[in-house]
Structure formats: C-alpha cells, structure tokens
C-alpha cells in the first residue's frame, strides 16, 4: 500500500471524538494538503540532502489513541534529566500528552489539552496560531502532523508571569513491540512580560524503529522572554523531524539552543519570525555526530518588521560515516529596514568518510540592513595541535582540548546550569570515546 | 519625469533626483538595428529546421546526427524552474533558429565586408580596423549567426593557433571538434544546452597547441541583430599542455520590444599546465523601465581542468539582459588545478539575474576562489547561486568564496544561495557573504572632500567591484567601468 493510501485509511478511521473548537476543519485541510504533497522526496529543494521517503517503506504504526500505562513511572525515571526535581515535567508518549506522567510544579503555568483550549477561553489564540508553521514548512510532513492533531497540548504563561521552574518536555516513543510513528504537537503562548525556559528532549524505548514528527509552535508577546533548548541524544534506531516555530509578535527576546548528539536521522526545522519592531533572537546549535547518523538543521530567520537583531551560530563535529546538513535562511522583507542579521556555520570533519552539505542562504529585499553570513568546513587546526604538543600535551589531549573549546561557544549559551552540566558531561564522554 | 525609485525624502536628496534620473534612466545607448538582408530559416523548431541549418552550413553527417540526437533529447526535457527568476513560458515555435547576413562570398579581408556591418561595429566602439591597428586584439566578430570577419588569423596561424568560426572548424578540423565538442557540456546536461546543441548556428573555436603562449587577447563580439532571432552560439576553447590563452567576449544588442532568447554554450578544455582566462562583458538589452522586452540569457559555460597544474579563470561583468541564467563552472579534475570565478552582476529596473558558479573539486590539491559582487537597484532581483563540491578523493582541496551584495533602493532584492558539499575531511572550505547599502557616512566623507554625491556613488561602486574589475584585461576594463556607470551611477539616495 502506498504511503498516502495508508494514511488516508488511517485518517478515515481517525475519530478524535466530537469536534471541539473547530480542530476538525484544520485537520481536514491539512490532510488535503498532505494528500497533494505526500512525503517530500529528494527532488524537494528543502529535502535535497535528507532522504526520508524511503523510511516510509517500513511499516510504521501510527497509534490512534494514547495507550495508557505502557510507559511506567519507572521507565520515565530512567529518562529524566538531572535536576528534574525542580522542573515542570511535560511527558508525551507516542505523540500523546500524558497527564498522569506529567507534573506541573509552577502554579502560574497553565497546561491543558489542545481540544480544551480550543473550546475555552483560549479559543482565539488557538484558532489564530495553531498551524502557523505551515506557512514556512511547505511539505507533506508538517501537514501530516496537523492532520492527526490529537492528544496535543496548549501551554500558556499569563501576563507578567515568570515561570520559576523550567519546562522539561519529554517526547517518549515506545517502540518495544512495533515500529512507531509518533506526532507530538504543542502550542505555547507567552503573554506580555512573561518569562519561560523550555527544554525538549527525546527518547525511544525498545529496539524497533521510531519516527517522531514533532511540531512545537510558540508565540511570544511584547516584552516576553523565552529560552528554548532542544537536546537530542536518542538511539540510532530513531528518526526525527522536529519543527520549532517561534513567532515574536511583540518586541521580545528569544534564545534557542539546539544540541544534537545522537540519533539515526535528525531533521530540525527552527523558524524564528521577527514579527514586531525591536525584537532580538539568538539561535545556537551544536551537532556532534558519529556512526552512520545524519543531522540536518534547517533554520529560517524571517525579518518582517524593522529594527530587529538576529544572531545565529551553528557548529558541527562529524565523525565516522555521519553526514551533516545545514541550511540557514535569512529573509529580510521590504519593510524590515535597519535589520541586523548575522549567521555563521562551522564544521569540523574528523574522519575521511563523513560529509557535510551546507547552504547559508540570504534573501534580502530591504536596503538599509546589515546582513552577513559565513560558513567554514575544515579539520582541526594543525598549528594549534602542534602548539599544544610542543608543550608536552599528548595529541589526544590536545585534540580533546581544541574540540571542547570549539563546542564551548555553544555550551556557554545554555543558561540552565543543570542542563549545561549534563550536556557537557555527554560531550566529554563522547570526546573521550571518539579520540581514543 | 516621474520616478519609480522610492528614495528617502530628505531635501538634499530630492534636489539630486534630476541627476539621478538622468543616469539611472538613461536610455540604452546601443539600441539600433542594422538593416541587412538576412537568409532565414522558417520560424519554429523541428527536425527539418535542424536539417536546414546543417545543410546550409554544409556540415558532415556526423554533425547532423549529433544535432538530431540533441534535439530528440531536448524534446524529453523540461525547462528548469529552480532558479530565482520569473518569466512567461517561451514559445520555442515562435523563434527563427537560423539567420545569416547575406554574403556573396566569404570575405578574405575586412574590405570585402558589408560596409553596413562595419558601421555597426564602429557605433559600438569596436571597429575592426581600429582594434586591429591600435589594440592588437584579434576580433572574430559574430553578427547574428555567421562569422563575418576574422583578423590576425595569419599571425596566429604562424604559431599554430587555430582561431576561427565554429562552422569553419567543423569543415577544417573535424577531428578536434569531434574529440572535444560536447565533452565538457554534454548535450543532455540541461534543457538549454540540449537546445543549443540541436540548433547552434555558429560560434568560435580556438585551439592553442602545446607550449604556445597566445601573444594577444582573443576576442569575439557577439551581437544579436535580426528581429526574433535567437542566438545559439557555441564556443570551444582547447588549450594543449603548457599553453596559455586569454579570451574576451563582449555583447551588446539593439533595442527590441519582444524578448529575445539566447542560449549559448561555452566549453573550455585545459590540459596539463595550461591556463585559460575567459572574460565576459555582457550588456544586452535589459528591457525598458517597465520591464518590457529585453534579452533572455540562458548560458551554459563550463571548463574542465583536465591536466595537472592547469588553471581556468572566469571573469564576468553582467549588466544587461532582462534575465540572466548563467553559471560558469570549473571541473577541477587534474591534481593541483585551479579554478577562479570573478563576477560583477548589476541589475536595475525589472532585471533578474540568477548567476554564480560551480567548482567541482575532483583532483587532489585543487584550489578554487570565488568572488561575486552583486549590485541591485530599481525593482530588480539579483541572486548568487553557487556550488562548491569537494569529492571524496579530492584531498587537500581549498576553496574560498566571497559574495557581497549592494542594494541601491528598497524595492530590489539580493539573494544568496551557496551550496557547499564536502566529502573529504582534508578540505578547507570557506564562504562569506555580506549585504549592505552605500553608507551615508561614506557619502558624507566624500562630500566633505568636495566630491559630489553622484561621483561619490560611482567611486564607491567602482571600489566595491574593483576586486573583479582588476581581473579584466585592459581592453575591457574601461568599457566595463563605463557600463557600471551607465547602469547605476547616482541611484542611491
């Protein structure tokens, strides 16, 4: 059965219950889009270097309903990140938000089912912003997630609320018995002057293959502040397409850090829409890939309004047969005068079998702007290695030092200390292993 | 006069509008039609037209077969749509594919050439006579489809250099043509190269024998002339081991309402230790201020550094054409070979340019350098699209790319699409790009020193493009700077 036919059958069976808040219409439209576009192939410019169509030849089960109890609190315990005692924990299992496993510690944070939000006081927000990412991700995968929106979550931070505990979002896929396709979805709204920290993490249980097609959309209001972290350290039997879409609708500050350490195939879409004057956005990324893994970071910084600042730095280390892809787009629309946009991508290739494809792309329609981008691909600096070795430091330690320093530019941007400590530990272990 | 350019509304600037308008909207200087009787093929494209072209040029059977193969290939292909350009679909049946100025006999020297044609060249400022005497440049002038005059041929022949029209080469040097034609740009390479292979009417062929350093710059002046005639030039340059040649190509076209299609193919082959330097100044009719008319320029240019230590260098100044679709590329096959690409692309009014390069690193220790300067004004869109590919075996490859864009006015666009594909960890690849406008502080600095705004802008633009201009041979440098001035001077508020 071809992929579209399979999903068509699933969509026809799909009964999320009575229509609440007009989500059915959105699903229907999205499914229409999906049937037209299908799974993007390598002819799709945005998917030129990341081939996912072949994955769908494997049988992936799309769970219809949250299967309660498959992931036990014990399972979750093993997956929890350090410092979780002082966090708000939001747990998705196979793409469905689990109220029983999640724990909200901050009283000023509202987390409710999307259906409930769409039917209640947040109806306006949900109607306006759910699916906003589809304007940027024009492919079948984005539509596929929207078509099956169910068990999604709406996160709201009220006016001037500073969410004390960071939000740790765990996307758990239980592939212990079959291959699973999970499609978590969340919508977050940061009201005026609200502050929040968000961490997304992914884990797969079992040895079957998993495919996570996740979307998180975040709307940031006037004077709000968002710190967003995505940490990917999953097994090699996993595939991930993870979209984070941030729209700044008032002058605000956001910072997004994406750390990709492991996983079979990872595609990250990070969109930042600077949709108000005087917005500031910082995008950082670090990827360290080994084995046969594939990492693809696609970022879009869309400058819609004037006087915004964006800064982007992505660094990568590739080893073995891994492949890396970076595509950074900066759009500066005609009204967005006085935009300052910077972008840089640096890659270090450790083995002679890894490869990298990078495409830093600028599209500029305003003249009073300062935009630069740059990218480099190379090896470790031989002079640096020699300098250290001539001072009695072993080659291995020297390499380790140089690579740690290289990574620290990004790691220093992680402001959650417990998270930073954990990521640093992972990277040090990795370096130790790779360089021995 | 009403201006389409939206400029900042400060009083000083408004005073300057008249000068700005004068320069920005200055009419295309080279818009005139030479009235020459033409020998034309029937409108449209089919196998009969190809047979007509081939027969008219008295081509051998293998050439006709090659053309027909290309045509059949072309029929199965689709027009590419990935470039950042927009234009109405081209009706390929509405084009005359062959048009030759009527000549009784092949001219043996310049005196026998139609005086009307000579006057055309004089108005363009490249009088064959003058060039011959003063600059020492051998000119193979191509008007529409047939080469009408070749000078300095004797001098070149003494060194064993062959510099003649493609049709002549097919007659006289079939072995060289059969070996190299289509070896760099195969007929199936892309839609426009297949079309060119099927219907190409003429072009230049240049062969530099082993160890010869060509003593003069070789130059061809392409010119689209008769109404509705597409130009399908085919150029092939072969540099044998240890040779050197510098080749110039320049273009102007008369003003025209209907769009003209130009799909040329240029192939360069550099063998061991050979060096080819290819420079272009392109100033075809860009369309009027409303974006009507203008030349569609779809060109496939590619060189191969076949031998070790060979070098190919492309330099281009693109100021004309309604649409430019052009990616002069280098395949760095030989070890220690070098590829260079220097480009200035200027777009104004409604012009669209999607241009850049491809550097394919296949050999070891290969090096490439890309310097691209885009200047956009008016409502135009200017894109740089480049690929740097380092293959698995290309150890110690080195690339440096720089693409800078200058925006004049807030209705134009500048785009950068660099693709970097690295499969070898000993490669060092760097890319950097900037986009900016002319700084008010820079203008102020010049004003302070008594340089008026208009001159200051010209100064800054020329400075911006200098890195590329420096690569042009003397003969072109002056013309290129003039072109920049005509296209852009003063278009900044």
The 10s digit of each residue's pLDDT in B411-452 is 888 999 999 999 998 999 999 888 888 888 888 999 999 998
The answer to whether the beta carbons of residues A258 and A298 sit under 8 Å apart is: no
Residues of B with CB under 8 A from a CB of A: 82, 390, 392, 405, 407-437
Rounded to an integer, what distance in angstroms lies between the CA atom of residue A17 and that of residue B353? 53
On the question of pLDDT at A261 being above 80, the answer is yes
Q: Which two tokens stand for residue A144?
A: 């596929």
Kindly tell me if the per-residue pLDDT of B149 is higher than 50.
no
The phi and psi torsions of B2 (rounded to 5 degrees) equal: -90, 140
Mark yes or no for CB contact B422/A355 under 8 Å: yes
**Chain B residue nearest residue A372, CA to CA:** B434
Name the minimum distance, in Å, from the CA of A331 to any CA of chain B. Answer: 9
Please report the pLDDT score of residue B282 as a whole number: 82
Q: Which two tokens stand for residue B313?
A: 């260098």
Q: Are A169 and A90 in contact (CB under 8 A)?
A: yes
Given an 8 Å threshold on Cβ–Cβ distance, is B435 in contact with A354?
no
Q: Give me the mean pLDDT over the B340-362 stretch.
A: 92
Q: What's the average model confidence in pLDDT over A46-62?
A: 83
Buried b or exposed e, range A18-49, using 16+ CB within 10 angstroms: eebbebeebbeebbebbbebbbbeeebebbbb
Q: What is the pLDDT at residue B142?
A: 57
Let me know: does A167 contact A87? Beta carbons within 8 Å.
Answer: yes
What is the chain A residue with the closest CA to B434? A372
> Does A368 sit within 8 Å of B435, measured CB to CB?
no
CB of A160 closer than 8 Å to CB of A125? no
Q: Which residue of B has its CA nearest to A323?
A: B423
* Chain A residues with beta carbon closer than 8 angstroms to that of B418: 359-361, 375
The CA distance from B372 to the nearest CA of chain A, in Å, is 14
Count chain A–chain B contacts defined by CB atoms under 8 A. Answer: 117
Distance from CA of B360 to the nearest CA of A (A): 14
The mean pLDDT of chain B is 79
For residues A349 and A357, give the distance between their C-alpha atoms in angstroms, rounded to a whole number.
12
Query: Cα–Cα distance between A90 and A86 in angstroms, integer?
Result: 13
Cβ contact B232:B83 at 8 Å? no
**Gap from B263 CA to chain A (nearest CA, Å):** 25
Query: Are A350 and B435 in contact (CB < 8 Å)?
Result: no
Percentage with pLDDT > 70 across chain B: 74
Predicted local distance difference test score (pLDDT) of residue A411: 95
Using the predicted structure, report yes or no on whether residue A228 has a pLDDT greater than 80.
yes
Q: Does the distance separating the beta carbons of A45 and B418 come in below 8 Å?
A: no
Q: Highest mean pLDDT range out of B5-14, B33-42, B211-220, B226-235?
A: B211-220
Q: What is the model's pLDDT at position B338?
A: 96
Lowest mean pLDDT among A93-102, A403-412, B146-155, B231-240: B146-155
pLDDT interval class at B22 (50, 70, 90): very low
Q: What is the largest CA-CA distance in chain A?
A: 72
Question: Confidence class of residue B485 from pLDDT cuts 50, 70 and 90?
Answer: low
Residues of chain B contacting A362 with CB distance shorter than 8 Å: 405, 414-416, 433, 435
Task: State the pLDDT at residue B188.
Answer: 86
What local confidence, expressed as pLDDT, does residue B20 receive?
A: 40
Q: What is the pLDDT of residue A400?
A: 92
Between A132 and B436, name the one with better pLDDT.
A132
Cα–Cα distance, B52 to B145 (Å, whole number): 14
Q: How confident is the model at residue B285 (pLDDT cuts 50, 70, 90)?
A: confident
Domain ranges of chain A: 3-276, 381-436
CA dist., res. B125 & res. B139, Å (int): 13
Whether A372 sits inside 8 A of B435 (CB atoms) is: yes
For A352, the 3-state DSSP assignment is coil
Q: How far apart are CA A33 and CA B203, in angstroms?
A: 49
Shortest alpha-carbon distance between residue B198 and chain A (Å): 27
What CA–CA distance (Å, rounded) separates A246 from A264? 26
Shortest CA gap B479–chain A (Å): 28
Query: What is the C-alpha to C-alpha distance for residues B73 and A251, in angstroms, rounded to an integer?
Result: 56
Average pLDDT over residues A284-303: 94
Q: How confident is the model at residue B226 (pLDDT cuts 50, 70, 90)?
A: very low
> B436 vs A370: CB contact, 8 Å cut-off?
yes
Given the DSSP bridges, would you call strands B398-408 and B428-436 parallel, antiparallel or unpaired? parallel
Q: Which residues of A touch B432 (CB under 8 A)?
A: 372-375
pLDDT tens, B193-221?
Answer: 999 999 887 788 899 999 999 888 887 65
Pick among A290, A331, A349, A367 to test the B interface (most B CBs inside 10 A): A367
What's the Cα-to-Cα distance from A310 to each of A217, A283, A326, A366, B312, rounded to whole Å? Answer: 19, 8, 17, 15, 39
* Closest by Cβ to B434, choosing from A356, A359, A372: A372
Q: Are residues A369 and B430, on separate chains, in Cβ contact within 8 Å?
A: no
Nearest residue to A46 (alpha-carbon basis) of A346, A357, A409: A357
Contacts (Cβ under 8 Å, ≥6 apart) of A414? A229, A257, A259, A420, A423
Query: Encoding tokens for residue A375?
Result: 């990218």
CA of B152 vs chain A CAs: smallest distance (Å): 47
pLDDT at A20: 63
Distance of alpha carbon A398 from alpha carbon A380, whole angstroms? 10
Would you say the pTM of this structure is higher than 0.90? no
Give yes or no for residue A240 having a pLDDT over 90. Answer: yes
Interface contact flag, A362 B405, Cβ < 8 Å: yes
pLDDT band of residue B135 (cuts 50, 70, 90) is: very low
H or E segment and range at residue A283? strand A280-289
Measure the CA–CA gap between A174 and A75, rounded to whole angstroms.
10
Determine which helix (DSSP H) or strand (DSSP E) holds A187, and give its type and residue range: strand A185-190
Q: Which residues have CB under 8 Å from B113's CB, separation 6+? A: B107, B128, B148, B149
The nearest CA of chain B is from the CA of A49 a distance in Å of 10
Note whether B82 contacts A369, CB cutoff 8 Å.
no
> Among A334, A354, A376, whose Cβ lies nearest the Cβ of B429?
A376
- CA B38/CA B129 separation, integer angstroms: 24
Asked whether the beta carbons of B116 and B144 are under 8 A apart, the reply is no
A392: three-class secondary structure by DSSP: coil
Distance CA B203, CA B220 (A): 9
| pLDDT score, position B133 | 40
Tokens for B40, please give them: 């034309």
Instruction: Please write the tens of the pLDDT for every residue from A330-384.
Output: 999 989 999 999 999 999 999 989 999 999 988 888 888 888 888 899 988 889 9
Q: What is the pLDDT of residue B105?
A: 41
Q: Measured between beta carbons, which residues in chain A are less than 8 angstroms from residue B491?
A: none
Cβ contacts (< 8 Å) between B417 and chain A: which residues? Answer: 359, 361
**Regarding predicted confidence, which is higher, B314 or B81?**
B314
Q: What is the pLDDT of residue B126?
A: 52
Radius of gyration, CA atoms only, chain A: 21
CB atoms within 10 A of CB B255: 16
* Per-residue H/E/C for chain B: CCCCCCCCCCHHHHHHHHHHHHHHCCCCCCCCCCCCCEEECCECCCHHHHHHHHHHCCCCHHHHHHHHHHHHHHHCCCCCCCCCCCCCCCCHHHCECCEEECCCCCCCCHHHCCHHHHHHHHHCCCCHHHHHHHHCCEEEEEECCEEEEECCHHHHHHCCCEEEEHHHHHHHCHHHHHHHCCCCCCCCCCHHHHHHHHHCCECEEEEECCCCECCCCEEEEEECCCCCECECEEEEEEECCCCEEEEEEEEECCCCCCCEEECCEEEEEECCCCEEEEEEEEECCCCCCCCCCCEEEEEEEEEEECCCCCEEEEEEEECCCCEEEECCEEEECCCCCEEEEEEEEEECCCCEEEECCEEEECCCCCEEEEEEEEEEECCCEEEEEEEEEECCCCCCCEEEEEEEEEEECCCCEEEEEEEEEECCCCCEEEEEEEEECCCHHHHHHHHHCCCCHHHHHHHHHHHHHHHHHCCCCHHHHHHHHHHHHHHHCCCCC
Q: Using alpha carbons, select from A24, A30, A84, A81 the residue that is nearest to residue A233.
A: A81
Say if CB B444 and CB B12 are below 8 A apart: no
Share of chain A above pLDDT 70, in %: 97
User: Over pLDDT 90: what percentage of chain B?
Assistant: 36
Measure A362 CA to nearest chain B CA, in Å. 5
Give the nearest chain B residue to A319 (CA atoms). B425
CA-nearest of B421, B123, B302, B415 to A356 is: B421
Interface residue of A298, A340, A370, A377 to substitute, partner B, most B CBs within 10 Å = A377
CB contact under 8 A, B430 and A349: no
Q: Per-residue pLDDT for B469 more than 80?
A: yes
Comparing alpha-carbon positions, the chain A residue that sits nearest to B398 is A378
Contacts 24+ apart (CB under 8 A), B56-60: B56/B98, B56/B100, B57/B167, B57/B170, B57/B201, B57/B202, B58/B171, B59/B167, B59/B170, B60/B170, B60/B174
Map residue A289 onto helix, strand or coil.
strand
Angstrom distance (rounded) from CA B134 to CA A55: 68
Chain A residues in contact with B390 (beta carbon < 8 A): 377
pLDDT computed for residue A385 by the predictor: 92
Confidence grade of residue B118 (pLDDT, cut at 50, 70, 90): low
pLDDT higher than 50, residue A403: yes
Block residue for tokens 């990250």: A268
Looking at per-residue pLDDT, the higher value among A213 and B470 belongs to A213
Residues 6+ apart with CB under 8 A from B490: B16, B19, B20, B22, B23, B24, B453, B454, B457, B458
A366 vs B contacts (CB less than 8 Å): 407, 410
Band of residue B111 on the pLDDT scale cut at 50, 70, 90: low
């Amino acid at each position: 059965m071809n992929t579209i036919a399979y999903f068509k059958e699933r969509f026809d069976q799909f009964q999320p219950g009575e229509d609440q808040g007009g989500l059915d219409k959105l699903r229907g439209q999205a499914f229409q889009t999906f049937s037209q576009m299908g799974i993007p192939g390598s002819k799709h410019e945005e998917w030129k270097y990341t081939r996912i169509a072949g994955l769908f030849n494997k049988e992936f089960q799309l769970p219809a309903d949250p299967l309660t109890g498959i992931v036990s609190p014990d399972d979750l315990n093993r997956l929890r990140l350090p410092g979780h005692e002082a966090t708000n924990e939001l747990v998705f299992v196979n793409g469905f938000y689990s109220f029983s496993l999640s724990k909200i510690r901050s009283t000023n944070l509202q987390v409710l089912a999307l259906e409930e939000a769409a039917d209640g006081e947040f109806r306006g927000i949900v109607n306006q912003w759910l699916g906003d990412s589809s304007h940027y991700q024009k492919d079948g995968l984005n539509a596929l997630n929207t078509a099956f929106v169910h068990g999604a979550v709406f996160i709201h931070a009220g006016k001037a609320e500073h969410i004390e505990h960071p939000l740790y979002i765990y996307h758990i896929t239980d592939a212990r018995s079959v291959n699973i396709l999970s499609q978590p979805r969340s919508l977050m709204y940061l009201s005026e002057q609200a502050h929040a920290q968000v961490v997304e993490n992914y884990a797969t249980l079992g040895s079957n293959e998993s495919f996570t097609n996740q979307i998180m959309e975040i709307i940031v209001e006037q004077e709000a502040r968002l710190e967003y972290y995505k940490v990917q350290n999953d097994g090699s039997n996993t595939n991930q397409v993870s979209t984070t879409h941030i729209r700044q609708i008032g002058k605000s500050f956001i910072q997004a850090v994406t750390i990709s350490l492991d996983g079979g195939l990872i595609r990250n879409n990070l969109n930042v829409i600077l949709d108000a004057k005087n917005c500031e956005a910082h995008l950082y990324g670090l990827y360290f890939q080994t084995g046969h893994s594939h990492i693809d970071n696609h970022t879009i910084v869309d400058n819609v309004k004037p006087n915004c600042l964006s800064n982007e730095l992505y660094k990568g280390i590739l080893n073995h047969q891994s492949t890396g892809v970076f595509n950074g787009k900066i759009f500066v629309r005609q009204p967005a005068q006085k935009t300052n946009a910077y972008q840089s991508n640096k890659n270090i290739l450790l083995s002679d079998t890894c490869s990298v494809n990078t495409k830093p792309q600028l599209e500029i329609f305003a003249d009073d702007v300062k935009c630069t981008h740059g990218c480099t691909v190379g090896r470790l600096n031989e002079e640096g290695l020699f300098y250290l070795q001539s001072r009695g430091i072993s080659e291995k330690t020297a390499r380790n030092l140089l690579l740690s320093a290289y990574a620290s530019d990004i790691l220093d941007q992680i402001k959650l200390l417990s998270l930073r400590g954990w990521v640093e530990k992972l990277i040090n272990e990795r370096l130790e292993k790779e360089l021995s | 006069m009403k201006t389409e350019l939206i400029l900042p509304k400060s009083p000083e600037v408004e005073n300057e509008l008249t000068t700005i308008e004068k320069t920005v909207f200055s009419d295309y200087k080279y818009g005139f039609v030479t009235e020459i009787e033409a020998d034309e093929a029937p409108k449209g494209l089919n196998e009969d037209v190809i047979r007509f072209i081939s027969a008219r040029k008295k081509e051998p059977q293998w050439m006709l077969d090659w053309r027909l193969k290309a045509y059949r290939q072309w029929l199965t292909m689709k027009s590419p749509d990935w470039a950042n350009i927009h234009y109405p679909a081209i009706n390929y049946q509405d084009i005359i594919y062959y048009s030759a100025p009527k000549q009784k006999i092949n001219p043996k020297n310049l005196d026998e050439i139609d005086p009307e044609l000579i006057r055309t060249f004089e108005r363009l400022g490249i009088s064959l006579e003058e060039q011959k005497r003063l600059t020492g440049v051998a000119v193979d002038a191509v008007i529409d489809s047939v080469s009408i005059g070749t000078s300095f041929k004797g001098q070149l022949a003494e060194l064993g250099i062959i510099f003649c029209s493609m049709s002549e080469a097919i007659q006289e040097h079939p072995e060289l043509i059969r070996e190299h034609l289509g070896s760099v740009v195969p007929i199936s390479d892309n839609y426009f190269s297949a079309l060119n292979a099927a219907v190409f009417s003429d072009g230049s062929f240049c062969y530099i024998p082993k160890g010869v350093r060509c003593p003069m710059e070789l130059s061809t002046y392409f010119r689209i002339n008769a109404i509705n005639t597409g130009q399908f030039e085919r150029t092939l340059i072969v540099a044998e081991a240890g040779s050197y040649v510098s080749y110039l190509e320049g273009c102007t076209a008369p003003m025209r309402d209907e769009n003209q299609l130009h799909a040329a193919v240029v192939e360069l082959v550099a063998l061991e230790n050979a060096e080819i330097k290819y420079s272009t100044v392109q100033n075809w009719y860009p369309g009027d201020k409303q974006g009507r008319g203008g030349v569609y320029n779809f060109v496939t240019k590619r060189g191969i550094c076949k031998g070790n230590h060979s070098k190919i260098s492309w330099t281009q100044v693109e100021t004309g054409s309604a649409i430019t679709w052009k990616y002069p590329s280098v395949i760095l096959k030989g070890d220690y070979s070098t590829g260079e690409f220097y480009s200035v692309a200027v777009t104004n009014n409604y012009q669209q340019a999607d241009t850049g390069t491809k550097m394919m690193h296949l050999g070891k220790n290969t090096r490439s350098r890309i310097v691209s300067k885009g200047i956009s004004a008016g409502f135009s869109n200017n894109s740089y699209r480049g690929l740097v590919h380092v293959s698995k075996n290309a150890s110690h490859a080195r690339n440096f790319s720089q693409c800078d864009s200058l925006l004049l006015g807030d209705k134009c666009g500048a785009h950068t699409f660099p693709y970097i594909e690295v499969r070898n960890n000993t490669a060092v690849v760097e890319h950097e790009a900037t986009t900016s406008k002319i700084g008010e502080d820079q203008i102020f600095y010049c004003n302070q020193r008594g340089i008026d705004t208009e001159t200051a802008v010209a100064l800054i633009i020329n400075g911006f493009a200098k890195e590329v201009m420096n690569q042009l041979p003397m003969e072109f440098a002056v013309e290129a700077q003039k072109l920049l001035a005509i296209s852009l001077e003063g278009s900044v508020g």
